Amino acid sequence: MNVSLYQAAAAMDAQSRWQELIAQNLAAGSVPGFRKVNASFEDVAAASPVAMNGATPASFYIPTVISSTSFQQGQLQPTGDANDFALEGQGFFEVQLPNGDSAYTRNGQFQLDAKGQLVTAEGYLVQSDNGPVQFDPNNPAPVTVSASGQISQGGDVKGRLKVVDFANPDSLTATTGGYLLANGQQPGTAPAGTSVRQGFLEAANTSPTMEMGSLISAMRLFEANQKVLQAQDDRLGQIITDLSGTT
């Protein structure tokens, strides 16, 4: 078996996946609080599917790509909107999905709906320690949130924003809109150093310049392995021609 064919094909598949992750980072670069997805390469043990004369199948390694989420802090940008919030430090805002499940996000671009509830752009309910954040739509008093997350409407305290953290954030699963799912992992309280900044949004922790540089590297590696694959295919074709005695 020509191992180099499989290795080159596997490398092309891994680099194609890397390009998909880069494209995802570029597309979501303007989404507040978006977490960059990194790619790393590992070798996976494989074996020849055919063993000659009862011999042990030959083993070899093929490359594969592993994705992981970067939880590095993004830059905080002032917006002046009282319904915008950013987290300084570790942690996530907890929101309620339409099916009742919880999701977690660093995107604090919230708004008030017709019922006076604080919701995300998709309409998901933002959670406090007392359940969904509920304001009085008939009360003209301003909404304020302290650094500790305490929510007030004028002098009326409404609760505290539910900001949580996880012992193993790498196990969270990213879903559409930049939301994360816990997959059974129980959230804990955010570290004491985490604070809420009202009137700010956290920018995505991606760099378009670095992503474009990575995209160029991924494309060049893909092309290089494509040439290896073509060269091996041509060599096999020549061997078959020579063995068959044809021209």
Can you give the residue ranges of every domain in the chain? 3-71+206-244, 76-202
Q: Which of 81-85, 125-129, 216-220, 241-245 has the lowest mean pLDDT?
A: 241-245
Residue range 85-103, pLDDT digits in tens: 999 999 999 999 999 999 9
pLDDT for residue 234: 81
pLDDT for residue 44: 75
Burial class of residue 228 in the structure, from the number of CB atoms within 10 Å of its CB (0-12 exposed, 13-18 middle, 19+ buried): middle
**How much is the pTM?**
0.79
Pick 127 or 14 by higher pLDDT.
127
Q: Are 107 and 34 in contact (CB under 8 A)?
A: yes
Residue range 162-214, pLDDT digits in tens: 999 999 998 898 888 889 999 889 999 999 899 999 999 999 999 999 999 99
pLDDT for residue 166: 95
pLDDT greater than 80 at residue 61: no
- pLDDT, the chain, mean: 88
Q: What percent of the chain has pLDDT over 70?
A: 92
pLDDT for residue 163: 97
pLDDT for residue 58: 60
pLDDT for residue 3: 73
Cα separation of 37 and 21, whole Å? 7
Cβ-based neighbours of 84, under 8 Å, separated by 6 or more: 108, 109, 110, 198, 199, 200, 201
